[in-house]
């Protein structure tokens, strides 16, 4: 299935177990694709209950699944930030031509009661 996020079509793949788990939910799940700019670039997918339906809470892909993309960055980059494993303060990252950074695909799985996801670029 496809979803249009910030001007780009994103191919979304759900494993059969993820599709079943989403169908069993009584409230929407939000899958947030986070692109984190710091000393390095990190890609991560976070999952949480979508309790509101503001534009920042993504777009509805299918019933009980919303998807969003959020680029963030740290204010500074220090080797000591990496050493102590505490997360540095982050802020939303205002990107020019944000559609260029939106992933091309997102895969979602549900195994052993845990959501997992990955996204990427062709």
The model's pLDDT over 44-65, given as tens digits with 9 standing for 90+, comes to 999 998 776 555 678 999 999 9
* DSSP H helical ranges for the chain: 16-24, 79-83
Q: Which of 21, 116, 113, 103 is nearest to 68 (CA)?
A: 103
Average pLDDT, the chain: 85
Rg (alpha carbons) of the chain, rounded to whole number:
15
Distance CA 65, CA 28 (A): 5
| CB atoms closer than 10 angstroms to residue 64 | 16
* pLDDT band at 37; cut points 50, 70, 90: confident
CATH number of the domain at 2-120, out of 2.60.300, 3.30.1120, 1.10.287, 2.120.10?
Answer: 2.60.300
More confident site: 61 or 84: 61
Distance CA 96, CA 98 (A): 6
Distance CA 56, CA 79 (A): 32
Distance CA 76, CA 64 (A): 37
pTM of the model as a whole: 0.80
pLDDT of the residue at 22? 97
Who's near 41: CB < 8 A, 6+ residues apart?
35
């Amino acid at each position: 299935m496809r979803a249009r996020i910030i001007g780009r079509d994103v191919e979304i793949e759900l494993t059969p177990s993820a599709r079943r788990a989403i169908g069993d939910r009584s409230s929407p799940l939000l899958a947030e694709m986070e692109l984190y700019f710091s000393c390095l670039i990190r890609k991560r997918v976070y999952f949480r209950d979508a309790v509101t339906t503001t534009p920042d809470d993504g777009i509805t892909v299918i019933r009980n699944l919303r998807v969003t993309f959020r680029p963030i960055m740290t204010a500074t980059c220090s080797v000591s930030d990496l050493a102590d494993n505490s997360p540095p303060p982050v802020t939303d990252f205002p990107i020019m031509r944000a559609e260029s950074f939106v992933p091309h695909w997102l895969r979602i799985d549900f195994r052993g009661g845990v959501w997992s996801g990955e996204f990427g670029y062709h």
